[in-house]
Amino acid sequence: MPVEFLTDEQAAKYAAYDGAPSRTELGRFFFLDDADRELIEGKRRSHNRLGFAAQLTTARYLGVFLDDPTDIPAEVADYLAEQLGIADASVLKAYGERENTRLDHVRELRRVLEYTEFAEAEAELRGWVDARAWTTGEGPKALFDAAVGWLRERRVLLPGVTTLARLVAAVREAANQRLWDTLYGLLSTGQRALLDSLLTVPPGARVSELDRLRRGPVRISGPQMKWALERAEEIAAFGMGEVDVSGIPPRRLAELSRYGIDGKASLLRRHGDSRRLATLLATAVYLTSRAVDDALDLLEVLIATKLLARAERETAKEKLKTLPRVERASAKLAAAFQIVFDTTSEQVDTDTGEISPPEVETLEAMWERIEQVVPRHELAAAIAALFELTPPLDSDADEAWRAQLVTRFGTVRPFLKLLVTVVDFGATPEGLPVLKALKSLPDLMGRKKVGPAEIDTGLLTGSWRRLVLSAPHLEPGTVDWKAYAFCVLEQVHRMLRSKQVFAKNSSKWGDLRAKLLDGDAWDQAKPTVLASLNLG
């Protein structure tokens, strides 16, 4: 019977042929090279040579010597017989008639091929499985298969299926217990009580505190952004993000946190202290960064869709509404200036080359000609309309939607201060000016007068310079701090994507460089990591 995690079928396939090997496997494991042939040719009879070859190649393929070497797929027997020049592979049946011959061959192959008994390699295997289980958290079947591969690569004869399965199960369980105990040991008595309180349902509530905190934002809005940051702040206040879990493989922490995120509070309560609190710690550590991830995910979408894109859409709609007025005004101005050019320029006869003087010589005469096409008051109205509806010459294509964006400051007002205090931002050298400007925004909000010396004018590119420094409603010596806030947020939005501005307490939006192990940290982790990857 199989043990625990192995089915009957899986146990039956262990160290045994599962049908005929593929052509690739035949070529890799059953091809007889010169060294193989030298060993085989010393055997006198055909059935002994074929049987010896079957034992040799089966050990190479399966990691065991067969008690009954005749019990091999016909494809294997035929492939070996063909290489040995044996016409009839059925002679293999005679190989099993003398048990002493088989035992002599096995002893010879163990010596010549330097196969190791399992007992001699068991301690090393336990260490390797432990390192892999500790680092990866793989299931028992995956660890079992990896252990089989490890034994075969090192020419260690496979033990019985029950022996190996029990070894894997025991080592894996010990690694799991060590994981739980290690995390449990990082917690103070107060922290343990605090984590256990997450599993309680407060009076009047319908769900536990854990259920409440693991639910992220579901809408895209300013109030929801404020809620997301308050959630991140509440989770950070537990202080679990400050617990040093650097000695735990990230994959194991992630595995535990998934269980804590997906599991029911009632089920978690039934676990023993070490497993329960280890799971809650991993979950709280995960939620500490995940809540910031959720908030910054929402910020990215909010700025991109509800602010920038919406301002552009509304500006485009407004342009469409005013387009008929712009077209009419432009047509009148074009007609008037066409008359100016036609009547004030010298005329050249293309046939004779004769040059005629301008049709009009005085300003009054020119106006008479213009007013025959466009009355003066209509021309004045057209000019006024174009000044009203089109951007100045020194503007850019973004000024209209940026001006529209500034009117939506109410969307960001509720969460701007929280954004700076809850998210622990950092930046590369390129992003430092933008980060400094972001952190200064809460001090500018709500003030009636903000001077140019209080902002970083070096960040004012394109039309932002006009909107911040020269907006029509500004008093002399003041700036539009709302426009400045959006100028900064637009650049923060862009630099978050490029990781020039990052969140230190975030996983998704964090500094990629901080995740690289270096120095002592790598020296400590290296042996276990290499062993788990079979590289050590």
Mean pLDDT of 386-397: 66
CB atoms under 10 Å from CB of 74, counted, come to 11
- How high is the pLDDT of residue 2? 41
The pLDDT of residue 349:
66
pLDDT digits (tens, 9 = 90+) for 33-48: 999 999 998 888 899 9
Phi (first) and psi of residue 420, to 5 degrees: -75, -35
Does residue 168 or residue 71 have the better pLDDT?
Answer: 168
pLDDT, position 374: 85
Residue 117: name the closest of 127, 126, 107 by CA: 107
| pLDDT range class, residue 387, cuts 50, 70, 90 | confident
**221-235 burial, b for 16+ CB within 10 Å, e for fewer?**
ebebbbbbbebbbeb
Any idea which residue has 């494991």 for tokens? 29
Residue range 225-230: average pLDDT? 97
Cβ 233 vs Cβ 424: under 8 Å: no
Q: Which of 177, 202, 168 is nearest to 273 (CA)?
A: 177
Please give the pLDDT value at position 74: 93
Tokens 């432009």 belong to 330
Strand-pair partners of 348: 355
Check residue 95 and give its pLDDT: 85
Q: According to DSSP H, which parts of 302-398 are helical?
A: 309-344, 363-371, 376-389
Interatomic CA distance for residues 506 and 510, integer angstroms: 5
Contacts 24+ apart (CB under 8 A), 31-35: 31/83, 32/57, 32/80, 32/83, 32/84
Q: How confident is the model at residue 4 (pLDDT cuts 50, 70, 90)?
A: confident
pLDDT at 365: 78
Lowest model confidence (mean pLDDT) among 223-227, 322-326, 368-372: 322-326
Looking at residue 117, what is its pLDDT? 92
Length of the chain counted residue by residue: 536
Contact 445, 413 (CB under 8 A): yes
Segments in 137-221 forming alpha helices (H):
140-153, 161-185, 189-197, 209-213
Overall average pLDDT of the 291-305 stretch: 93
- d(CA 392, CA 390) in angstroms, rounded, equals 7
Q: Higher pLDDT residue, 38 or 369? A: 38
Does residue 530 surpass a pLDDT of 80? no
Q: How far apart are CA 55 and CA 72, in angstroms?
A: 10
Q: Is the pLDDT of residue 265 over 60?
A: yes
Q: Are the C-beta atoms of 126 and 168 separated by less than 8 Å?
A: no
Indicate the average pLDDT of the chain: 87
Once rounded to an integer, what is the mean pLDDT over residues 410-436? 95
| Structural Rg of the chain based on CA atoms | 40
CA dihedral (183, 188, 191, 197) in degrees, to 10, reads 90
pLDDT in tens, 490-520: 999 999 999 999 999 898 998 876 656 566 6
Least confident interval from 149-163, 303-317, 326-340: 303-317
Residue 293: phi, psi to the nearest 5?
-55, -50
Per-residue CA distances from 145 to 263, 417, 536 (Å)? 28, 54, 18
Q: List, in order, residues 6 or more apart from 57 with CB less than 8 Å away.
A: 29, 30, 32, 36, 76, 80
Query: What is the per-residue pLDDT for 79?
Result: 93
Q: In the prediction, which pLDDT does 282 show?
A: 97
104 within 8 A of 50, measured Cβ to Cβ: no
Whole-angstrom distance between the N-terminal and C-terminal Cα of the chain? 35
Distances (CA, A) of 284 to 51, 337, 419, 511: 61, 72, 21, 21
153 or 366, higher pLDDT: 153
- DSSP designation for 348: E
What pLDDT band is residue 314 in, cutting at 50, 70 and 90? low
Q: Give per-residue pLDDT as tens, 21-35.
A: 999 999 999 999 999
Which DSSP symbol is given to 156?
Answer: B
Write the CA distances from 379 to 251, 343, 359, 370, 383, integer angstroms.
73, 18, 22, 10, 6
| Whether 76 contacts 54, CB under 8 Å | yes
Q: What is the pLDDT of residue 71?
A: 85
The predicted-structure confidence for 234-257, as pLDDT tens digits, reads as follows 999 999 999 999 999 999 999 999
Q: How far apart are CA 405 and CA 135, in angstroms?
A: 49
Check residue 22 and report its DSSP letter: P
- pLDDT value of residue 322: 63
Query: What percent of the chain has pLDDT above 70?
Result: 88
Residue 481 in this model has a pLDDT that exceeds 80:
yes
Q: Kindly indicate the confidence band of residue 1, based on its pLDDT and cuts at 50, 70 and 90.
A: very low
| Helix/strand/coil for 356 | strand
Question: Looking at per-residue confidence, does 44 or 391 come out higher?
Answer: 44
